[in-house]
Amino acid sequence: MKKIIIFDTTLRDGEQSPGASLTMQEKIIVAKQLAKLGVDVIEAGFPISSEGDFESVKLIAKEIKGPIICGLARTRKEDIDRAWEAVKYSKKPRIHTFIATSQVHMDNKLRKSKEEVMQMAVDAVKHARSLCKDIEFSPEDSARTDLDYMCDIIKAVIEAGATTINIPDTVGYAEPEEFGKRIKYVFEKLNNIIKSNKVVISIHCHNDLGLAVANSLEAVNNGATQVECTINGIGERAGNCSLEEVVMNLKTRKDFFKDITTGINTKEIFKTSQLVSSLTGIAVQRNKAIVGSNAFAHEAGIHQHGMLMNKLTYEIMKPEEIGWIGTTFVIGKHSGKHAVENALKEMGYDLTKEQVEKVIIKVKELADKQKVVMREDIIAIATDIAGELSKDEEIIKLDEIKVSTGNKMQPEAAVTLIIDGKKKTGTGKGVGPVDAVSHAIRTMIDPSITLKEYGLKAITGGTDALADVSIKIQDKKGNIFKAEAVNEDIMMASAIALIKGMNKALNFQRNKKGNRIHAQY
């Protein structure tokens, strides 16, 4: 059997997708679940891009056992040193360095000649190899790179010490047959050097034309043995190749992909998908292959009839194979503490005893009101509690909030806060009640802080559902801080999320530490 290496970049390329930024605690939760899922490589971040990215790659390298932990770096020496500083704590560290090789990128972005780019790639790989024995190199925008030049650069970086060569379709431009031929050509032209150096040929496809999975599978058919992908296919623009789709294609169509396997424990797929969706706030479309809520729903009468006669009529995969539990609730009014503890453990949360107690109290309160608590409710509550600030970090606390709104008045809010131990009340008006609350809070703390994004999600159906508010605020220097809060009351959830965000901004100003998000390269 040929094992395909599953390289997960949810925490790097996936996290770069608009609105997906994760805190350090959230990244650790995802990384633990990825290890449970059985991915071979976790690309944990882009360490030079921010202090927050560096710290989270370092923490993941220290804490996650099993997969290779990889950090991304441009070809600059500082990038590579920073990536090494973060990944060196892992038992299996990898540095992934890249430079664009297509004419359009070299002329317009890099303003460098082919020879200069080749030299930069070789120097970077040599330097990385002097630090770490596992080095991946990507010629960025490969799918639009001159084939022979791409092969020359691949040969040169292998000679310089690269152990994995990744061929990215950075802009999602390739068609499957064409991409497959590109991979075949690399094997034909560089067969000796690839074999004698035991180099892994990898692919990394974006989904701009909806072909990321098809292109990746075609590359596997033509010899690629590492697939780079993300959970739920999240990523820049239209996203990356979806891990669950590639893996389930290889598994379900064993007859077609002969003697090919992966190390993925597919029973963990659904759970991982739900976790990533909940933590990033990026919903999974209902009809998404494999993990969408309709993926195993049979609505049409004729289909239902067929299914009752024999499931094979319309079901090509068993829902159990991906650990599908649908929207079944897990906790009822009379469920005990252990049920909550088990649910948290199952979902990969590693909370302190105190945090677990807090989750149990909140779940019980909710079960009293809602009768049943769904899996998504527990994820939201646990995430909220995992992201709570410590006592020292809580510079501002909410004391009271009053809101008036109606169809014949401008919404108004009065918010009382405890700031550094002293009570202060502020008022504000707005286009809606949430806007009024936001004005009242910001005028008291720092009016230059702006609310960049506000998202509201009712976690489970009904008017008594939990409201999950996620926000992003920006200080005048452009630093962005993300916060989330869950409450039965939308106004309370909004106020708590804003105050959490403000606390993060104030802590950042005081300690010059925090999670700057959205790495650029």
Site string for ligand KIV, 273-312 (x = CB under 6 A): ----------------------------------------
CB-wise, 5 or 382, nearer to ligand KIV?
A: 5
Shortest spacing between CB 429 and Zn ion, in angstroms: 44
CA–chain centroid gap for 195, Å, is 34
Q: Looking at 8-16, 100-108, 391-399, 410-418, which segment touches Zn ion (CB under 5 A)?
A: 8-16
Cross-strand partners of 201: 165
Residue 281: count of CB within 10 angstroms of its CB: 17
User: Which residues on neighbouring strands pair with residue 428, listed in sequence order?
Assistant: 413
Q: Supply the minimum distance, in Å, between the C-beta of residue 164 and ligand KIV.
A: 11
Is 53 near ligand KIV (CB under 6 A)?
no
**Which helix (H) or strand (E) segment is 458 a member of?**
strand 450-458
Q: Which is nearer to ligand KIV, 125 or 466 (CB)?
A: 125
Residues 185-204 that bind ligand KIV (CB under 6 A): 204
Which of Zn ion, ligand KIV, none does residue 230 bind to, with CB < 5 to 8 Å depending on kind?
Answer: none
| Residues from 78 through 107 that contact ligand KIV (CB under 6 A) | 98
CA–CA separation, 295 and 292 (whole Å): 5
**Nearest CB to Zn ion, comparing residues 13 and 412:** 13
Taking the least distance from each CB to ligand KIV, the nearer of 32 and 204 is: 204
H/E element, 118: helix 114-131
Q: How far is the CB of 98 from ligand KIV (least distance, A)?
A: 4
Closest CA to 438 of 413, 461, 405, 460: 413
| Cβ distance to ligand KIV smaller for residue 194 or 519 | 519
Q: Is 179 in the site for ligand KIV (CB under 6 A)?
A: no
Between 105 and 375, CB nearer to Zn ion: 105
Question: What is the DSSP secondary structure assignment for residue 135, as one 8-state letter?
Answer: E
172 binds ligand KIV (CB under 6 A): no
In whole angstroms, give the CA distance from residue 487 to residue 264: 36
Find where tokens 């989330």 sit.
484
For residue 140, the partner it binds in Zn ion, ligand KIV, none, with Cβ less than 5 to 8 A by kind, is ligand KIV
Among the listed residues 8, 11, 13, 430, the single contact to Zn ion using CB under 5 A: 13
Q: Is residue 168 near ligand KIV by the rule CB under 6 A?
A: yes
Q: Pick out residues in 147-166 that bind ligand KIV (CB under 6 A).
A: 166
- Whole-angstrom Cα distance, residue 291 to residue 266? 11
Q: Name the minimum Å distance from CB 216 to ligand KIV.
A: 13
139 sits near ligand KIV (criterion: CB under 6 A) = no
Among 49, 97, 138, 507, binds ligand KIV (CB under 6 A): 138
324 touches ligand KIV by CB under 6 A:
no
Compute the distance between CA of residue 232 and CA of residue 409 in angstroms, rounded to an integer. 43
Q: How far is the CB of 13 from Zn ion (least distance, A)?
A: 4
Question: What is the 3-state composition of the chain as percent helix, strand, coil, each rounded to the nearest 5?
Answer: 45, 20, 35
Of 473, 63, 468, 9, nearest in space to 276 by CA: 9
Cβ 440 to ligand KIV shortest distance, Å: 42
Order the strands of the 396-404 sheet from edge to edge: 396-404, 412-419, 422-429
CB nearer ligand KIV, residue 13 or residue 475: 13
Contact positions with ligand KIV (CB under 6 A) in 6-35:
13
In the complex, minimum distance from the CB of residue 168 to ligand KIV, in angstroms, rounded to a whole number: 3
Q: Does 54 bind ligand KIV (CB under 6 A)?
A: no
- The strand ranges marked E within 216-344 are 226-229, 260-262, 329-332
For residue 5, list its beta bridge partners: 226
Q: 131-166 burial, b if ≥16 CB within 10 A, otherwise e?
A: bbebbbbbbbbbbbbeeebbbbbbbbbbebbbbbbb
Comparing every residue's Cβ against Zn ion, the nearest one is 13
- Is 226 a binder of ligand KIV (CB under 6 A)? no
CA angle 234, 238, 243 (to 5 degrees): 40
Residue 206 or 500 having the CB closest to ligand KIV: 206
CA distances from 112 to 39, 102, 117, 118 (A): 36, 11, 6, 10
Which residues bind to Zn ion, rule: CB under 5 A?
13
Which residues bind to ligand KIV, rule: CB under 6 A?
13, 98, 138, 140, 166, 168, 170, 204, 206
